[in-house]
Structure 1
Amino acid sequence: MSIVVTGATGNLGRLVVEGLLEQVPADRITAVVRSAEKGARFEALGVRTVIADYNVPESFEGVFTAGDRVLLISSSEMTADRVAQHRVVIDAAGSAAVALLAYTSAAGGHESPLTEAHRRTEKVLAESGLPYVLLRNNWYSEIFVDGLATVVEQGVLVRAAGDGRIASATRADYAAGAVAVLTGEGHENRAYELGGDTAWNFPEFTAELGRQTGREIVYTPVTAEAYTDLLVGAGMPELYASILAGADASFASGELAGTSGELARLIGRRTTPIADTVAAALKR
């Protein structure tokens, strides 16, 4: 029996493998990677690596064995058919009769464009007959501190999120939650709503950024349409700009504000406050 992590060299997958190494012997961990070069780091630690690609179904033949516990990290290819990619892994896991398939889904309503592929994947999983667990992760806190230096320099943050709150957590928090599920018992056929212990909004975010930098940072809320135009004008492809604006609309509606406490219970500690993520970003 092995614990198999797909997408193991991504930002989340790497942290999951590192967390597993603290809990189980390296030879019980399998990292699914896209190339030998990407897997070299894990192999040096004694982790088994296999090369497979969500877009190449035959590459998953023989990856799983009966009794394995699998973490399917959702595809980040927004222009691809992500449900079809996920089905490749689910079908291979089903053929091998794995003991558990955990899927990194997303928090939020069923109508959100960002969550549509996740909900459709959840349906595929439910119909597969596999024992599964849904890890409905809220947003990663790290996403909100990308480009922080520019915000500090300009003294303004423009978003389309209004005063809506976001119960984000760090990738390390979510990775720890995945490790707890993969190494624990009693998680079959459950759905966990995972996120931070405290929801925050952008007025609070800019106030915290100002406090830590000693600079005045102004939050300027705009409409989703204006935000899309702003991003496109800055050179972002319209598809991605509309996705980000749609996400902000979800924040504004309060859709991502839920604080279930389930992530903290899984990992046995409080989640990382957004202020800590801001501080870490400013030190880089």
Structure 2
Amino acid sequence: MSTFTGKILVTGASGQLGALVIAALLNEVPPAQLIATARNPAKLTDLAARGVDVRQADYTKPASLDAAFQGADRLLLVSSSEVGQRLPQHRNVIEAAQRAGVKLLAYTSILRADSTPLLLGQEHRQTEALLRDSGIPFVFLRNGWYSENYTAALVGVIEHGAVLGSAGEGRLSTAGRADYADAAAVVLASSEDPAGRIYELAGDESFTLAEYAAEVARQAHKPVAYQDLPEADYKAALLQLGLPAPLAGILAQSDAAAAQGGLFDDGRQLSQLIGRATTPIKQSIAETLARLA
């Protein structure tokens, strides 16, 4: 258990990452030290039953943030899922944290936000700049790609026998979402002051999409191959699958940027931070297949 005794607030606590951060923090500090916020706090009744302080907070409504952030010493801003709307939403959070006197704000950014070729990096860079200018002590948790970005599509991949993408031979240093959540919990519950640190977080191992397809085929006992497409063709394929045009464009561009090394990192800062190896893609595939069985 951590010796930190202040209040730790996690935004987006009903989301996939935020829920895992709260779960990890419950292993580090008593529930009474935790504040969990969500747009719909009814989704957090299980946490309330465990003694976590559950509050309503909406990134688009500053008044809700002012009420939610009262008494928080350290705050995790889980980046908004609304690409294109992130900057004004994040600004609302940062300004509310200023008004509440938050002593440390940790932000889930993107791997090498200052130089990434991914267009997704723009809003993260802008948010980091807002935080630097805010005067609030900060930590940047620059998260790489989640393995779940790929394993979530396993049903379709196995059904069609193909992994589609535009990443070429680019290597992907992914880790499980829980690995990144554990890293956030370590920082938030640290007995030391982590202010000013910038963590480039990614998996210990890397793989190409061709290697990923081969591993899926091996574990599923079915033929699966990687089909590398030009960025425009990959976007068209995603549109055919029913993705909204803006999201399809972002995913296709991200894949093309991976071909330029945008999602590769061998610094191992994530495993160093959490004190264990990151979850290998083989394990993520196996766990997903087990759930689907």
Q: What TM-score, normalized to structure 1?
A: 0.96
Query: What's the secondary structure of 2:181's corresponding residue?
Result: helix
Aligned twin of 2:39: 34
Query: Would the aligned equivalents of 1:83 and 1:117 in 2 still touch at CA under 8 Å?
Result: yes
Aligned twin of 1:271: 278
Aligned twin of 1:153: 159
Alignment partner of 1:167 is 2:173: yes
Q: Which amino acid aligns with 1:266?
A: L
Query: Would the aligned equivalents of 1:69 and 1:182 in 2 still touch at CA under 8 Å?
Result: yes
Show the 5 A alignment for 1:1-284: 1-65=6-70, 68-79=73-84, 81-108=85-112, 109-184=115-190, 185-284=192-291
Instruction: Encode CA deviations 1:69-128: one digit per residue, 9 max, x unaligned.
Output: 11000000124x211101111111112221210000011434532111000000000000
Query: Would the aligned equivalents of 2:66 and 2:99 in 1 still touch at CA under 8 Å?
Result: no
Query: Would the aligned equivalents of 1:66 and 1:99 in 2 still touch at CA under 8 Å?
Result: no
Query: Would the aligned equivalents of 1:110 and 1:119 in 2 still touch at CA under 8 Å?
Result: no
Instruction: Encode CA deviations 1:191-250: one digit per residue, 9 max, x unaligned.
Output: 100010011111110111111122221111010011111122332221111111011011
Q: Percent identity of the aligned residues?
A: 43
Instruction: Encode CA deviations 1:31-51: one digit per residue, 9 max, x unaligned.
Output: 011123112121011100110
Matched residues in 2 for 1:60 and 1:153: separation?
44
Bigger Cα displacement from structure 2, 229-238 vs 246-255: 229-238
Query: What's the secondary structure of 2:174's corresponding residue?
Result: coil
For structure 2, the 5+ residue unaligned runs are 1-5
* Count of matched residue positions in the alignment of Structure 1 and Structure 2: 283
Query: Would the aligned equivalents of 2:38 and 2:57 in 1 still touch at CA under 8 Å?
Result: yes
Q: What TM-score, normalized to structure 2?
A: 0.93
Matched residues in 1 for 2:31 and 2:217: separation?
44
Query: What's the secondary structure of 1:206's corresponding residue?
Result: helix
Query: What's the secondary structure of 1:257's corresponding residue?
Result: coil
Matched residues in 1 for 2:148 and 2:118: separation?
21
